[in-house]
Amino acid sequence: VNMRRDMKCIVESARGNLATASKAAHVYAGHPNYQGANAEISRLTYNPLPALQADNNLLGPKAGEVRLKKGNFLGVISTSTSYKLSFELTLFGRVSSWGSVLHFSADSNIASEHDRIPGIWTFPGDTRLHFRSATSGNYNDGCDPTMKLELNKKYRIQVSADALSNTLSVKINHKQVCSSKASGLLAKGHSKVFVWAADPWYEPANGQIAQVYYRKF
């Protein structure tokens, strides 16, 4: 039995309903209330979900460029209503579907106002960015720049949500390329938000990222 694969599936399927940590949890192999499987296990390990910190590189302090991969889970972070998310992005090609770059979600793809806080994709067959950040009026609110990114060129991207002005905006190489009024109140911060690069619901964008920073304000 590939326990590493199976345990990973269990954790991912339960990500929206995590229990509070316990100091005295019981571990069974197998459970006393059920018939044991006709199998054996070995090298079973338990590791808590990695905790990410705002104002630190979410890829790790010594991380370089990271190739985007479907279902690449980075860790759990606490978010705020107002934020700035910045990262370096290099695209190597186009993908035929929405291409996931980064996705912050407390539960799933788009079931609640905490599921895209934010999410960034590339347009199908294009290099334009698609920035979504949920609000009370629209779980898929956002702001889409018209600028097309050149392939094999590194860009500094910043997406932000500002509760004071109730706006969503995008900067590319420090120049604002998109800004829009939110259709409702910006989603409130959440204590347990999963960070993906790329998410498990879409194909990954054909590219790599580096220097990913989430800042509250």
The pLDDT tens digits of the residues spanning 89-143 come to 999 999 999 999 999 999 899 999 999 999 999 999 999 999 999 999 999 999 9
- Is residue 164's pLDDT more than 50? yes
- Among residues 200, 192, 183, 164, the alpha carbon closest in space to that of 69 is found at 200
For the whole model, what pTM was predicted? Answer: 0.84
Average pLDDT, the chain: 90
Predicted pLDDT of residue 20:
58
Is 50 exceeded by the pLDDT of residue 5?
no
For residue 18, name the pLDDT band (cuts at 50, 70, 90): low
Q: Give dist(CA 99, CA 70) in Å, integer.
A: 10
Q: What does the block give as tokens for 96? A: 């035929």
CA dist., res. 102 & res. 121, Å (int)? 7
What is the maximum span of the chain, computed from C-alpha positions, in angstroms? Answer: 62
Percentage of the chain exceeding pLDDT 70: 89
Residue 124, both tokens: 């199908």
Ordered alpha helix ranges (H), the chain: 3-13
Q: What is the mean pLDDT of residues 12-17?
A: 45
By residue count, the chain amounts to: 217
Average pLDDT over residues 148-154: 98
3-state secondary structure of 201: coil
Confidence of residue 182 (pLDDT cuts 50, 70, 90): very high
Residue 8: is its pLDDT beyond 60? no
- Which pLDDT band holds residue 28 (cuts at 50, 70, 90)? confident
What is the reported pLDDT for 17?
47
Task: Provide mean pLDDT across the span 30-55.
Answer: 89
> For position 49, what pLDDT does the model report?
85
Confidence of residue 46 (pLDDT cuts 50, 70, 90): confident
What's the number of CA atoms in the CB half-sphere (13 Å) around residue 47? Answer: 10
Q: Cα–Cα distance between 176 and 157 in angstroms, integer?
A: 10
C-alpha pair distances (Å), 46 with each of 27, 92, 123, 139: 11, 36, 38, 34
Question: Which of the four pLDDT bands, split at 50, 70 and 90, describes residue 6?
Answer: very low
Which two tokens mark 191?
Answer: 């204590």
Q: What is the mean pLDDT of residues 204-208?
A: 98
pLDDT at 24: 74
Write the CB contacts of 15 (distance below 8 Å, at least 6 apart in sequence): 107, 194
Please state the φ and ψ torsions of residue 132, each to the nearest 5 degrees: -120, 140
Tell whether the model's pLDDT for residue 48 goes beyond 90. no
- Residue 82 CA to residue 168 CA, distance in Å, equals 10
Q: Say if residue 27's pLDDT is above 90.
A: no
